A and B are shown apart, each in its own frame.
Chain A
Amino acid sequence: MGLPRSIKNSRRKGRAFTVVIALLSVFALLAAGCGNDDDEAQAPEDTAAAAPEATTAAAPEATTAAAPEATAEQAPAEPAPDPREGALGDGSLGVVEVEEGDAIQIRSLQSITGDTASFGLPIHRAAVLAVEDYGQVRGFDVDLGTSLDDLCSNDGGQAAAQIIVADEDVIGVLGTSCSGAAVAAAPLITDAGQVLISGGNTSPALTSDLVGNPGPNFVEGYYRTAHNDLYQGAAMAKFVREDLGFSTAAAIHDGDPYTQGLAQAFVDAFEREGGNVTGFSAVNKEDTDMVPVLTEIAAGSPEALFFPIFQPAGDFIADQAPGVSGLGDTVLLAADGLLNANYLPLPQTEGMYFSGPDQRFGQNANESTGKSADELTASYEERYGEPPSSAFWAHGYDAATILLDAIEAASWTEDGSLWIDRQGVRDYLYALRGYSGIIGTLNCDDFGDCGSSKITVVQNLGGEENVQESLNNVVFSYEP
């Protein structure tokens, strides 16, 4: 329990490997000793009994269980050309067989209902477009399955992850939208040997602190194309300190890992920049009367107040802040969670500053499908009848294409079936460097941060008709 996750994982992997070796020898003995018996029927039982640890390799499903043994055994026996030549992976997490005519199973797990749907739905839709644009992988169709909802919560992430891992054919999951959901979903999904690639999570807890220490919720097999919030916090702090010239600021979060991580990143960076943090507080997501928390913040009379939270709590803070004594002239700042077409038209948000991913994708093109950002926005609008309601659609698109590339790199065809090595998928993603996506150049680090991490700060011009102009009204840009 006390061990860092990475050490535990490598240990577990080591043990799994030994167990597989042991299984192979048992299997070989059995095969030699009772040559007339029905090996196929015998094998899964023995493996299951001998190795409860190696879940995927010893899974009772014949398709997954038989694969590593069959291939490993064939290799030394007959020196015929190895069909898995060039495919990544060592089989340590198991191999999935996709039979001829079947489709490769991946899943989408985004926040597609409720308040945060305006954030998660575009990521899901972009994944649908990406899978269509990508076409087949080694002649096999890709099935995104029924889209699941992470409900933007820990519980939602956990429930959906349990549904996903029950299907052992699933290779990878595109999701989640909310960091809070990923905290619960990532351990379940990665333990099952699948990968989780998010286009929306930004909490530093899920990857690393950017100087080599894993976050508390880091697990192997988790990746993301969205930026790490340490960058976003730094960008906002630099903007407040240098461009606005303020020396005091406060922050409010709502207890969600995303909002808490970002608010913390902001105050840390603001102090590093030489500013003074006068208050750091939290609200509940369902609070409506913000006067008490704002009064608490007002005690320090900050020049700027950063509240990287969601709707509806964000509506109430922006609405009630000017009325609280001591906050009348405080500049309000928020982040990408509120930077959307529902929040910007509200009268109380006019003039507010928002940090978020750089939305000026321009002529960036995805190297796997060849589609440019402009082409994709056009086909998105044509398909769904509205422009994407958040910038993270682009992250979602790139997340889907790197997953499909990884599957291609870690698979081979044999006897008409497609075999996919789960460890190979991970190897490909951890080694991903210099990939051109819609969001810019993607480079994955050892903790799964793959995004281009370009951050901009925009100012809201106000009014329903100015939403698009406001999104493009960049007043500050930042790149690590």
Chain B
Amino acid sequence: MVPRTLRRGTPRTGVDWFLTFLRVSALTVVALGLLAFIAQEIDSDNPFARWANPDATGLTGEQFWGLVVSGVSQGAMYGLIALGYSMVYGVLGFINFAHGEVFMVGAMTGMITSNKLADAGMWESNFIGSLVLIVVVSVIVCSLTAVIMERVAYRPLRGQPRLIPLITSIGVSFFIQNASIVLLGPAAKAYPDVPDWVKTKHTFLQIEGSRILVILVAAASMICLWYVVERTKSGRAMRAVAEDSEIAALMGIDVNRTIVKVFALGGAMAGMAGILWGILFRSVIHSTGFLPGIKAFSAAVVGGIGHLGGAMTGGLTIGVAESVGPLVILEPLGVSGVSQLRDAVAFAVLIGVLLLRPSGIFGERLPAEDRT
């Protein structure tokens, strides 16, 4: 990455030097940590493995694999949520911060439906059937939530400066969280116990059934979404509105309707992620949507906001980095309390990517008015 200023031959300012320093030091820390980790894995007695952290024990292959799998499954969820952020940004150009709460609504809906099914006995007798049912219910509820949100809170503000819907979305987020406290109470609520085959590790890959399920479902949702956006008429309308909503309107596209569809699709993805969350962690609380929402937003930015593949890639990057990073990079460097630093690692990835590639991995897709 040669900074553009250098290529053009313009003089470098202090800020440029500072940024270069930051880039170099970030890469150095990562490289040193990785080298120490690799040295440790080759031979835990070799001096390079112990220069920073004499107590470091390294990881067994199985443990490392466990970390990667947990990171990928968590990242797949971030990716699904990030799709919603990315799509809305693509067409409207603002960040819908209440999207994390749509995800929480999905997890809550799944909790209610699955507990009802467990009471009726269907959860045990036909797990896959129940799963499909709760996914359908949750996707419908979340799409509706997102659509109502758009109609009530954002459409009246269309055409206003972008900061206004942004602030509104923070308000909507608080509203939904507190509505959940009022309706369902403040305590953590549990999903019913899942069958043993979901919990036990698959002998072949050493992955728990639930994590396989999460990764597969996320992949399937991603493919469906890609198909809808790239291969259907409404998808083409969405892309047209994202390109330039005025010209799209002139071409006979109903812009409002297309925006509603975008919100519904984003909500559906968040609802899907909510169910996966429930299967994986089996516990949900009104604040469930907050941190995953922020991380998913970071994922969207890391991947290049407005770009669908970017959202998924960003999600996986952040998920794997926060799962693997603390133990693989920070522990060999002698940092203490590494497991508490997972959020720091996640956001460090965001900062790192922005330093090296300010428009994200795939590059930002800007709405027309910003491009000009």
**A-to-B contact residues, CB < 8 Å:** 113-115, 117-118, 255, 281-284, 286-289, 291-293, 295-296, 298-300, 311-312, 315-316, 319, 323-326, 342, 346-347
Contacts and interface: CB of A to CB of B under 8 A. Distances in A.
Contact of A325 (B66, B283, B342): B66
Contacts of B199: 323
Contact of A315 (B62, B66, B283): B283
A326 B291 contact: no
B340 A292 contact: no
Given A115-B285, A286-B287, A315-B281, 12 more contacts: A115-B186, A117-B186, A118-B187, A286-B291, A288-B277, A289-B281, A289-B323, A291-B323, A292-B324, A292-B342, A299-B57, A323-B66
A292 B67 contact: yes
A284 B342 contact: yes
B53 interface: no
A295 B324 CA distance: 10
A311 B281 CA distance: 13
Contacts of B290: 286
A323 B337 contact: no
A281 B70 CA distance: 19
Given A255-B340, A312-B285, A347-B193, A299 B70 contact: no
B190 A115 contact: no
B327 interface: yes
A282 B281 contact: no
Interface in B305-333: 322-324, 326-327, 331
A314 B281 CA distance: 12
A283 B326 CA distance: 12
B327 A296 contact: yes
B295 to A, nearest CB: 11
Contacts of B342: 284, 287, 292
Given A295-B63, A319-B281, A115 B339 contact: no
B63 A326 contact: yes
Contacts of B206: 325
Contacts, number: 94
A118 B185 CA distance: 12
Nearest to A346: B190
Contacts of B291: 286
A326 B60 contact: yes
B31 interface: no
A298 B283 CA distance: 24
Contacts of A291: 66-67, 70, 323
B186 A114 contact: yes
B188 A284 contact: no
Contacts of A283: 339-340
Contacts of A298: 63
Interface in B41-76: 57-60, 62-63, 66-67, 70, 74
Contacts of A315: 188, 190, 281-283
Given A283-B339, A284-B340, A284-B342, A316 B66 contact: no
A113 B186 contact: yes
Nearest to B57: A299
B243 interface: no
Interface in B107-149: none
Given A114-B186, A298-B63, A346-B190, A292 B281 contact: no
Contact of B339 (A114, A296, A311): A296
A389 B340 CA distance: 30
B59 A299 contact: yes
Interface in B191-245: 193, 199, 201, 206, 208
Contact of A316 (B60, B62, B281): B281
A69 to B, nearest CB: 49
A284 B283 CA distance: 16
Contacts of B281: 288-289, 315-316, 319
A293 to B, nearest CB: 4
